[in-house]
Each structure stands twice: as C-alpha cells, then as structure tokens.
Amino acid sequence: MRDVTETTGTTAPGDGGDVRLSGISRTYGDFTAVHPLDLTVPEGSFFALLGASGCGKTTTLRMIAGLEEPSSGSVHLGRQDVTRLPPYKRPVNTVFQSYALFPHLDVFENVAFGLRRRGVRSVRKQVRDMLDLVQLGEHAHRKPHQLSGGQQQRVAVARALINHPKVLLLDEPLGALDLKLRRRMQLELKRIQTEVGITFIHVTHDQEEAMTMADTVAVMNAGRVEQLGAPADLYENPATTFVANFLGTSNLIEAEVASTAGGEILVRAGGGGLGVPAGRCSAPAGTGARLLVGVRPEKAALTLADEAGRIPDGRNRVTGVITEASFLGVSTQYLVDSPAGKGLAVYAQNVDRDPRLAPGAQVVLHWDRAHTFALDAAQDIEAGVERVEPATAARTEEAPGTAGNPARAGSTGGTGGGVKEAAG
Amino acid sequence: MALLTWFRRRLVVIFGLLTLGYLLLPNVVVTVFSFNDPSGRFNYAWNEFSTDAWTDPCGVDGLCDSLALSLQLALWATLAATVLGTTTAFALARYRFRARGAVNSLIFLPMAMPEVVMAASLLTLFLNTGARLGFWTVLIAHVMFCLSFVVTAVKARVMSMDPRLEQAAQDLYAGPAQTFLRVTLPIAWPGIAAGALLAFALSFDDFIITNFTAGSTVTFPMYVWGSAQRGTPVQINVVGTAMFLVAVLVVVVSMAVGNGRKRMKA
C-alpha cells in the first residue's frame, strides 16, 4: 500500500477558513490509528472521509473536533492553530453518530443549547428559523425519544448548524437510518450545505453516500489516505487496488507488459492481448513488468462468441463462459470465467435483453481501450473487496492470490448507476 | 367446572391481591388503632372510637421531640450521604485509579454486614476516641451506612449514561462546569433522587445502630421501642399513619405530574 499524502485545492495554506491538518497522527499504545497525515479541506467544500470501520476516519474527525488529542502534528482552522484548544473553544460543531441528543431537554432546548452556552440572549427566533430549515417547526416541544430516527437526525444537524460553525463535522450521521430515508437525508444534507455554505466534513463507510454528497472524497485505509479526489475522478482513475475495489467494483486482471507504443501499453493476459492508455497506468510499465489491468463492470459488454465478428475493431476482448446471470431490474449482472481471470463482472442495461446470454454461453467480454486502467501488481488484488463472510475474517488476513473470487461481484449493482450520475 | 375455569383465569389477579393485602394489612391495623381509645396503658385491644390522639398528636411527653430529632437527623444524613455518595459514584464509574476495585467491593460492606456488628464496632470506635455520644455520633453513623446505598443507586445511572452526551455538550461550547450542571447532573438526577430517598428512609427508621451510638439522645424509633415496654400511646399510631399518608401522597402527586407532562407533550 502506498503512503499517499496529498493536499487538495489551489489555495495557499492558511488562507481563509480552510481546515488544514499537518502531520497529524494518533497512536494508542502500539496501535497506530492514524498515520501522520496532511490534509487540506478548502473552505465551503463538502468533504468526505471514506473507509471501512477501524480505518482511522472517525479518529481524524475527532481530532478536528478536539475530542481526541493528536499524538503529533497540528490542526489549523484558517490562520488559527486550534491543536491545543478544548472542544468548547473551537468554532467547530459535530453531528454525532446516533446523534447524542440530550434526552432531558426538548427539541427546542437541544437546538438552543450552543447559543445559550455562548450567552446569546434572544434565541427564540434563531431556533425557530433553524427548526424550519430542517422542517421540524411543529415538533419543538417534543423530547428526543418521541421522534423518529430521521427527525432525531435533523435535530442533531440543526443543533450543530445553528452555531454557524466554520466547519461542520458529521460522524456517520446516516448510519442508523433505513435505506430510503438515508437517500432522502443525503440530498437534504447536500441541500443544506449548499444553502449555508459551511464546510462539511463527512465521515462514512458507505461509498455511494460519499460519492453522492461530497465534492472531494478521501479514501482511508489502515490509518492512511489511499487516494483523494473528486468522486468521478476516484472512480475512473483508482490509484490502488483498495480504491478500485472499495469504490464500486472492478475487474482486475493480472497481466505482463509486452510492449509500449504511441501512448499505449500492450499487455499479455491469459493468452490474449489487451491495450491500456499509457496515461491511465499508475505503475512503471517497462517491458516484462507485472500490472493489474482493470475495467469497471458497467463499461464492459458481452457478445456471443459466434457473433464476435460484430465487435468493432480496437476494443479489448476477453473470451470466456458465463457462470452466473442475475437480473437486477435496471440491469443484469453477469459473471464470466475466462483464462484471463475468474468471476469477471459485467453490468448490462436491460434495454434489449438477449435470452441467449445465460450461464454456460460462450461469450466475448469487450470494452473500449480508453476505459482501461492499470495498477501496480505488487499489491493485494483483493484489497477493499466487500466480504460476504462476517467481518471477523479481518482484512489483514486477505491473501493476495486468486483473482475473481465470486464474492467480489457481490458489491452493489446500483453503484454503477449512482456513479454515472455523479460522473455526468 | 365453571368455577374452576373462572378461578384459573383470575389466578394472577387473585395472588396479586393477596400479596397486596399481606403488605398493607399492618398499615391498616396501625391506622384503625390510631382511632382507638384504649382502656389501659396498651393500645393492643379495640375499645371505642375516638379522635383524641389525632387532635393532640404531641400530647405525650417527648414524642414530638423525638420525631423532630429523627427528621433532623434524616435530613442531614441524607444530604451528606447524597453529596458524598454521588461524588464517590462518579469517581468509581468514570476514573481508573489504583484502589478502584477494592473501593468498589468495600462500598458494599455496610449493606452486607449485620447491623449489630457494625453498631458495636462504631460504639467501640467512638468510646476509644473519647467522642461524646449524641446527635453527632448518630449522624456520623447514619451517613456511613446510607453512603453505600447512594453510591449503588447513582453508579448504576452514571454507568448507563452515553459518554457522547458530554462530548456533545463540550462540542456545543459548554465548559467542564457547564457540561456537568447542564447535562451530567440532570441525566444522573433520577439515580441521585432514588439514592437520597433510600437514605432518608433508612436513616429515619434505623434503630439498632442508633441505639448503640445515641447515648442519652432519643430518636423516634427509640421512643417507640421505649414506650412499647411501659405502654404505647395512641399518638404513635397517629404519627405512623400520617407518615404512611405523606408517602402515598408523594407517590400519587409525582405520578400525576409525570402523566400530565406526558399528555401536554403529546
């Protein structure tokens, strides 16, 4: 895994209200939760820290809030060094996981809490306006336990936002909601962020949520930022296998460089040849070098082997046999075994469904060469793959090896759709 | 057959009522005999109805003095035990320190030890230190045995509190003092109140430890005990009944207030 420490934005450090983390780290005894990390979140942006549980994203957030003291490094808000400030002196507010609403206070008093502590006298109008913003005006005098999960979530957002913080921190704020409500709250939060223009830093393990909401996503793994960028950029150009597998699904094929010519790398994989644009290869590509060649399942298409002649020239091709076809409504998900790799996934939109594309059929899997990317082969090909087994089979135990465990294709079929929207 | 079915269906209710009767029968007896006009010195046999004792509850020598003393003792003991016990409970629930395990189990000792043993030990201690037995020695003893009950009640509450609530308060500009006053204390309050009520009740009717440590001071339970040897005035029943009524009234009022609040919110 590469130690990627990057910064975003073009603004000079210390400008305006940027959040700037410099060499910040956190260790607990022998365990390093966050490796030294440099990160700049531009003012007014919607920033997501994305990663599996235990990757250090919440610890990073808590260090910005002041609830956790960094073992090294500093936190700046604009020009102000807040590293040693206690949480109640930082112009930062948090929406906690499972909300942490005060059970003994009603909705109104929960929302007014921050204003009252800062000695604001007339809170009534501000609280009313804020409750209207989150559409809870008529519930002002309920206690938190009398509200539904979605309503509690909005109280938590209102309670934080009313203080006009420089930065709003959101710690898995939608984790406790069911899928439909979560989708609605994602849009709602995005709307509120656009409306108030405050910097949002959002911690989540849900890649779809991160991509839907954030301008910039930092993918974290084992206490380090693996890659950072706009959602579409991360999705299209993953720099590591972890990002390729954790954000959506990728077909990764082990290959060896045969030649390099005219901005294109030709590789050999499973007895066939594939082309990769040189610009989309993030590893050294001398002749004979080992690469992992990747393509997203929705960019690949299937054609019956008998009709292979109809495939336009210049596309990458892999021949194989369909092992599984699952109908998902908008699309059908196929798994193809080929000499190049097992369990290659293809998502086909259900426009004209070909009934002959069924398990056992000989097919050619083909895609535009421009949609191919290549990664360094010296990494775990299955890093970041969503496991079907219980999480006890820790990620650290994943052995690099057999490509295309069927479990890999188990990640969401809906992802492709969501991503395309974000990309478009 | 039909009778058996009827009986079977109401078995739980019947047992419930029987248990309730078992619990309340002594109170009924006390109340009824508070309206008695006994023929001799002992108020153990029904003679005739009278409200004399109710119109003159302090008519017996020393009774109201002992009652006032017991109330005073109970109030001070409750106050001291609640303050000390609450702070101890917070320390035990929140902090890791060297003797934590030992303190955690030792705090239960006063609850587990036979009262006579504790009373005798206390008396030995007081005599050896040359303390004059009286109000203060009783108060010290009461605070001591009430403490463990308060600690237990408050600790349970504090342990079940979500630590994120205090973090949220800090995040919302509340300093340590404000966080404690506005969030920690109100949430721990039911535990503290339960502990205080227990302490009050325990202190008010304690006899054994008080008897050992009181010297010539007479509390209400000691007065009742003493008078039981030479003749029980009806006024004792009056005080008992009044206390029972006050307790019932407190429960009813607090339930009514709670219900009213719920209805207002809904």
Domains of chain B: 63-219 (1.10.3720.10)
Find out if CATH 3.40.50.300 is the number for domain A19-236. Answer: yes
Task: Please report the pLDDT score of residue A288 as a whole number.
Answer: 85
How many Å apart are CA A30 and CA A23, to the nearest integer?
A: 19
Task: Please report the pLDDT score of residue B263 as a whole number.
Answer: 60
Contacts of B164 in chain A (CB under 8 A): 96-98, 100
Q: Are A318 and A364 in contact (CB under 8 A)?
A: yes
Q: Using 50 as the pLDDT threshold, list the residues of chain B that sit under it.
A: none
DSSP calls for A168-200: EEEESTTTTS-HHHHHHHHHHHHHHHHHH--EE
Contacts of A146 in chain B (CB under 8 A): 265-266
Contacts of A94 in chain B (CB under 8 A): 167-168, 171
**Which CATH number describes the domain made up of A241-423?**
2.40.50.100
Task: Please report the pLDDT score of residue A143 as a whole number.
Answer: 93
Determine the distance in angstroms separating the CA of A60 from the nearest CA of chain B, rounded to an integer. Answer: 16
Residue A5 is inside which H or E element, if any? none
Interface of B with A (CB under 8 A): 162, 164-165, 167-175, 178-179, 182-183, 186-187, 189, 265-266
Residue A116 is inside which H or E element, if any? helix A107-117
> DSSP 3-state assignment of B34?
coil
Partners of residue A19 on adjacent β-strands: A41, A77
Contacts of A143 in chain B (CB under 8 A): 265
Full pLDDT tens readout for chain A, 424 residues: 344 444 443 334 444 679 999 999 999 988 999 999 999 999 999 999 999 888 999 999 999 999 999 999 999 998 899 999 999 999 999 999 889 999 999 999 999 999 999 988 889 999 999 998 888 889 999 999 999 988 999 999 999 999 999 999 999 988 878 888 888 889 888 988 988 889 999 999 998 899 999 999 999 998 899 999 999 999 999 999 999 999 888 999 999 999 888 888 999 988 788 999 988 988 888 888 899 999 999 999 999 998 888 888 889 999 999 999 999 889 999 999 998 888 999 999 988 888 889 999 999 999 999 999 999 888 888 888 875 544 443 333 333 333 333 333 333 333 333 333 333 2
Task: Please report the pLDDT score of residue A16 as a whole number.
Answer: 67
How many Å apart are CA B241 and CA B74, to the nearest integer?
A: 19
Contact between B172 and A141 using a beta-carbon 8 Å cutoff: no
**Structure token pair of residue A105:** 């206070």
Which of the residues B161, B164, B171 would you substitute to probe the A interface, choosing the one with the greatest number of A C-beta atoms within 10 Å?
B171
Each residue of A177-188: pLDDT tens digit?
888 888 888 988
**Structure token pair of residue A212:** 């839907």
Which of the residues B164, B172, B189 would you substitute to probe the A interface, choosing the one with the greatest number of A C-beta atoms within 10 Å?
B172
Interface A:B, Cβ pairs < 8 A: 69
Task: Please report the pLDDT score of residue A168 as a whole number.
Answer: 94
- CA distances A194 to A46, A223, A419, Å, are 9, 30, 21
Task: Please report the pLDDT score of residue B58 as a whole number.
Answer: 85
Determine the distance in angstroms separating the CA of A97 from the nearest CA of chain B, rounded to an integer. Answer: 9
How many Å apart are CA A112 and CA A127, to the nearest integer?
A: 6
Nearest residue of A to residue B183 by CA position? A102
| Mean of the per-residue pLDDT values of chain A | 84
Of B199, B197, B192, nearest to B111 by C-alpha is B199
Q: Are A294 and A372 in contact (CB under 8 A)?
A: yes
User: Model-level pTM greater than 0.90?
Assistant: no
Give me the residue label for tokens 């020239």: A313
Write phi, then psi, for B98 (nearest 5 degrees).
-60, -50
Can A19-236 and A241-423 be said to share one CATH topology?
no
Report the interhelical angle of A149-161 vs A107-117 (nearest 10°): 20
Contact between B174 and A146 using a beta-carbon 8 Å cutoff: no
Q: Are B78 and B146 in contact (CB under 8 A)?
A: yes
Of A388, A297, A385, nearest to A335 by C-alpha is A297
- Max CA distance (Å), chain B: 74
User: What type of residue sits at position B232?
Assistant: T
Contacts of residue A385, defined as CB under 8 A and 6 or more positions apart, other chains included, come to A245, A246, A398, A405, A407, A408, A411
Which of the residues A90, A97, A113 would you substitute to probe the B interface, choosing the one with the greatest number of B C-beta atoms within 10 Å?
A113
Contacts of A86 in chain B (CB under 8 A): 170, 175
Each residue of A91-126: pLDDT tens digit?
999 999 889 999 999 999 999 999 999 988 889 999
Task: Please report the pLDDT score of residue A384 as a whole number.
Answer: 80
Provide the residue count of chain A: 424
Segments making up each domain of chain A, as ranges? 19-236, 241-423
DSSP calls for B92-130: HHH---TTHHHHHHHTTHHHHS-HHHHHHHHHHHHHHHT
How many Å apart are CA B154 and CA B85, to the nearest integer?
A: 8
Contact between B170 and A88 using a beta-carbon 8 Å cutoff: yes
Instruction: Give the nearest partner residue to A141 out of B164, B172, B265, using CB atoms.
Output: B265
Task: Please report the pLDDT score of residue A388 as a whole number.
Answer: 52
Contacts of B266 in chain A (CB under 8 A): 146
Task: Please report the pLDDT score of residue A61 as a whole number.
Answer: 94
Q: What is the CA radius of gyration of chain A?
A: 24
Task: Please report the pLDDT score of residue B96 as a whole number.
Answer: 84
Contact between B170 and A67 using a beta-carbon 8 Å cutoff: yes
Contact between B182 and A86 using a beta-carbon 8 Å cutoff: no
